């Protein structure tokens, strides 16, 4: 008998998880599975559950993984956040019924995870520009969803100052001002920007993308290229496959893990190969 832990983030996606929940419960009831809905008061362990379903966005998934880092049972996602980048990578262009089917019955495959200063990320880490975006988003209350993200991106394009960074990885070293640095497990972030189009969730590597400083007009000019994932051949972009790297700065800088804000002046990053089981993986890339 399958017994599900059903994690629901009631604050994600303008209340969308609570709207989706009845459909998930109906599918579980029809399949004859038992479940517990968890919105708060998390259990100490997940040992009594055979499966996990997370209803929320990338931030919710990140929180659950870091709260229960030793998860060893299959995880399904019903995307109900503002970005849903990991879910899109696992099962692109799915409607709600297909998302629920994937979450409950989808094929199980092992995917990699990243680790930064002891915190886990599944999709990507960003230092620099997108870190400042993550910081600013927390202060914007009058917008939500993708509109809020684009508002903050445009604001930061106009004001962001590239940071001095030292980047070390086996066989490579960079030192100087950088617009942004991404270490990606999944190929997209920010609600659809294909920042690391060559990233693969199952290759045991992170896609390191380094973007040099750009004047404001070039930031606007090339933003569509970054969104489409056609920027890797541009002269101010470098990309590498790495298992670990170190990023340091003399000043405290902002970053993000799956959209969640981090801050510091030293980041130790590595990959954990085939660490978690996720359902519904159509394309590991």
All domains of the chain, ordered by start, with CATH? 3-106 (3.40.50.10330), 119-274 (2.60.200.40)
* Mean pLDDT score, 39-66: 94
Residue 102: alpha-carbon gap to chain centroid: 19
pLDDT at 81: 82
Residue with tokens 């230092």: 127
For helices 145-159 and 216-228, the axis angle rounded to 10 degrees is 140
> Of 9-13, 144-148, 229-233, which has the strongest mean pLDDT?
229-233
Q: Measuring CA to CA, which residue among 266, 264, 278 is closest to residue 64?
A: 278
pLDDT at 285: 42
**DSSP category for residue 15:** G
Q: Measuring CA to CA, which residue among 46, 48, 62, 51 is closest to residue 12?
A: 62
In tens, the pLDDT along 252-262 reads: 999 999 989 99
pTM: 0.92
Is the confidence at residue 283, as pLDDT, over 60?
A: no
Q: What percent of the chain has pLDDT over 70?
A: 97
Mean pLDDT, all residues of the chain: 92
Is the confidence at residue 14, as pLDDT, over 80?
A: no
Q: Detail the DSSP E strand segments found in 190-285.
A: 206-211, 237-242, 244-257, 260-279
Residue with tokens 């969308």: 16
Rounded to whole angstroms, the Cα distance separating 127 from 262 reads 9
pLDDT at 13: 64
In tens, the pLDDT along 78-98 reads: 998 877 899 988 888 779 999
């Amino acid at each position: 008998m399958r017994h599900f832990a059903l994690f629901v983030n009631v604050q994600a996606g303008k209340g969308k998880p609570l709207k989706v929940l009845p459909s998930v419960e109906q599918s579980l009831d029809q399949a004859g599975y038992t479940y517990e809905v968890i919105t708060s008061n998390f259990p100490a362990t997940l040992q009594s559950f055979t499966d996990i379903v997370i209803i929320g966005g990338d931030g919710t998934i990140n929180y659950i993984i870091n709260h229960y880092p030793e998860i060893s049972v299959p995880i399904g996602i019903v995307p109900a956040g503002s970005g849903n980048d990991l879910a899109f990578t696992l099962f692109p262009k799915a409607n709600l019924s297909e998302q629920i089917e994937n979450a409950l019955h989808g094929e199980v495959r092992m995917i990699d995870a990243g680790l930064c200063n002891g915190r886990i990320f599944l999709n990507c880490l960003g230092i620099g520009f997108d870190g400042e975006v993550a910081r600013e988003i927390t202060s914007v209350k009058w917008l939500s969803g993708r509109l809020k993200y684009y508002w903050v991106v445009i604001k930061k394009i106009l004001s962001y100052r590239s940071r001095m960074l030292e980047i070390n990885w086996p066989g490579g070293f960079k030192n100087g001002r950088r617009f942004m640095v991404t270490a990606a497990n999944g190929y997209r972030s920010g609600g659809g920007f294909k920042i690391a189009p060559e990233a693969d969730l199952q290759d045991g590597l992170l896609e390191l993308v380094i973007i040099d400083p750009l004047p404001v007009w070039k930031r606007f000019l090339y933003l569509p290229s970054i969104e489409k994932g056609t920027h890797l051949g541009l002269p101010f972009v470098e990309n590498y496959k790495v298992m670990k790297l170190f990023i340091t700065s003399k000043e405290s800088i902002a970053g993000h893990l799956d959209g969640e804000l981090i801050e510091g002046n030293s980041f130790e990053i590595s990959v954990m190969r085939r660490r978690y089981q996720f359902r519904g993986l159509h394309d590991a890339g």
